[in-house]
Chain A
Amino acid sequence: MSSVAAQEQRRATAAPARASAASKGPRLSRKHREWLAAGLFLAPDVLGLLVFVAIPMVLSIVLSFFQVSGFGSYEWIGLGNYRRMMDDPLFWDSMKITGLYVVVLVPVLFCVSLALGLLVKQKLPGMGIYRTALFLPYVISLVVVGVLWKFLLDEQTGAVNRAMRAAGFDGESWLGSPSLALGCVIAVMVWVMMGYYMIIFLAGLQEIPKEFYEAAKLDGAGPWTAFRTITWPLLRPTSFFVLLMSTVAAITGGLDLIFVLTNGGPANGTSLAIFYIYQQAFGFGEYGYASAMGSFLVLIMVLISAVIFKFTRGGRFDDGE
């Protein structure tokens, strides 16, 4: 209390002094000093985001109308890159593979992570250890993950095939057939990311008041009814977040893993669009053409995000029903 009183007193004595200082001369007013401070505090990040995020984003659209050749010669070709894209079967193959990849990966990852979140929310002995174990793959780089699974999935010597043969099955050529290889990429991605989204789901689940479940129990509701009527609707913001994040990550991420695990093969079977775009840009120097495909991919991504947003009502509760 006394310190508050002291503050008040100081404020009272300081105010006239400051007022006279401000009126005297060139010193900035308190308001303008705050503006100046804000400008200086924000300058490094705003400048950095402008140069390394915002301008490149705009530039990638601009570039898509140019033919970029060699070192820094740009030629305007209008929609030429887009026309070329429409007639490029390899690009559309990569889009099909991306579509399949996203359609399988996102729901599987969603269900596995949600199930794990529900599991580790239970009060069981040693739960801390299970949470740690499940999150652990996430801290390892995708390059190391790729190396590690390439070792385990090796057709002749890999541990997976050894275990299958020991159990009486034939080993599979996991990374040797296009469809199996894509399945392996998806499975490895689920293995890496499930712990991360599990924690996000866990945080969402812990936000739901316990009283709701107690009330449901008193009403005689079983676990499934409780999940359907309490958990699922109240988890909507988290579900929205996970769905959006994992979709965006699936469409534009995973380059590192593809590089190491399959390098786009076999027979382009794991050549995701983002991988094909990378190859065109940095393998063949087709920066303009790659930018056109990249812009197209971003457009698709924005459209899908909008659909997710509409579908989950942006993760809000007020659905006006």
Chain B
Amino acid sequence: MASDTLATRAGAAAGRRRTLSSRAWLTILAVVVSVISVLPVLWMVTSSFKTRATVTDGNLIPREFTFDNFVYVFTEVPFGRYLWNSFLISAVITVAALFFHSMAAYALARLRFPGREKLFGAIFATLLVTAPVVLIPLFLVARELNLLDSYAGLIIPAIFNAFGIFLLRQFYLGLPKELEEAAVIDGCGHWRVYWNIVLPMSRPILSALAIFFFLANWNAFVWPLVATNDQDLTVVQLGIASFQTQYTSNWNYILAAATVAALPMLILFFVFQRQIVESVKTSGLK
């Protein structure tokens, strides 16, 4: 017995020594990969404050600090308009998608009706259809519906995806039944149960999904590229892509534009980091 505990203690001490040095190595590794991850982004942001002459000087910190690039981007190009378009489109898609998806998910999780599981299976199957694959027929459908070159065309097709329905349904399956049962007994219709009870209870998951949807749509490029020609409808990602081909080597302007486009998402990420990470986690687990 005695020798046994002694051996364990010695083993633990050796283990501690080993973990101490391995902890140091792991920390160094974590710092290195973090720098690789962040440095390019940091480089873009600091370079956008450099002048035309120094933008490619290879220094991280600008020697001459200037805001001229940002002034140029907003005055010579309708960049404010691009930002507004992206904001408007992303916001409307997010609100509409959360509203429709939570309604559908509530019905799929909590209401009883014939064919419910089959319908859910069919909705789930649409997850396999990725956007680029249906780009061509979607374009032709949008053309038939006169949706091209309009806000409606940028917004409506982007609302519908099974991913949100799926996550919300999982969430509603886990909610306690008692509350809504009491409400139904009190004579509330299904709409009032949804609006007054279910919706307020799903605030955490709705806020996580809201950030995710907003981010995805702010960053969207391919559908706006296909669906619009009108300068007034240009979204910010499209604006940058064409700006970049026009001003090929004026990196100071290009990077200022790119920074402006990335900044809202970076801010959103720093503020709502926890929600974003949680929504990514649930998407993987379920």
Q: Flag whether B160 is at the interface (Cβ < 8 A).
A: yes
Interface residue ranges of B16-66 to A (CB < 8 Å):
23, 26-27, 29-31, 33-38, 40-41, 43-44, 47, 56, 58
Q: Is B9's beta carbon under 8 Å from chain A? A: no
Q: Which residues 221-275 of B have a CB within 8 angstroms of A?
A: 221-222, 225-226, 237, 240-241, 244, 251, 254-255, 258, 261-262, 265-266, 268-270, 273
B237, chain A: closest CB distance, angstroms? 4
Chain A, 114-155, contact with B by CB distance < 8 Å: what is the 0/1 string? 001001101011110111111111011111100111111010
Chain B: CB-nearest residue to A55: B141
Determine if B119 and A46 form an interchain contact, defined as CB atoms under 8 angstroms apart. Answer: yes
Total CB contacts across the A-B interface at under 8 A: 271
Given contacts A130-B31, A294-B133, contact A14 B185 (CB under 8 A): yes
B244 near A49 (CB under 8 angstroms)?
A: no
Confirm or deny: B159 has a beta carbon within 8 angstroms of a beta carbon on chain A. yes
Within 8 A of B (CB), among A1-59: 7, 10-11, 14, 31, 33-35, 37-39, 41-42, 44-46, 48-49, 51-57, 59
Chain A contact residues, majority secondary structure = helix
Q: How large is the interface on B (under 10, 10 to 19, 20 to 34, 35 or more residues)?
A: 35 or more
The size class of the interface chain A forms with chain B is 35 or more
Chain B proximity of A125: nearest CB distance (Å) = 7
Q: Is A233 an interface position by the 8 A CB rule?
A: no
B265 and A14 contact, CB distance less than 8 A: no
Please determine whether B104 and A196 come into contact, CB atoms closer than 8 angstroms: no
Judged by a CB distance under 8 angstroms, whether A308 is at the interface is: no
**Is the CB–CB distance between A207 and B285 below 8 Å?**
yes
Residues of A whose CB lies within 8 Å of any CB of B are: 7, 10-11, 14, 31, 33-35, 37-39, 41-42, 44-46, 48-49, 51-57, 59-60, 63, 68, 72, 116, 119-120, 122, 124-127, 129-137, 139-144, 147-152, 154, 156-159, 162-163, 191, 194-196, 199-200, 202-204, 207, 238, 241-242, 248-249, 252-253, 255-256, 259-260, 274, 278, 281-282, 287, 290-291, 294, 297-298
Chain B residues within 8 Å of A, Cβ to Cβ: 23, 26-27, 29-31, 33-38, 40-41, 43-44, 47, 56, 58, 100-101, 103-104, 106-108, 111-114, 116, 119, 123, 126, 129-130, 132-141, 143, 156-157, 159-162, 165, 181-182, 185-187, 189-191, 194, 215, 218-219, 221-222, 225-226, 237, 240-241, 244, 251, 254-255, 258, 261-262, 265-266, 268-270, 273, 276-277, 280-285
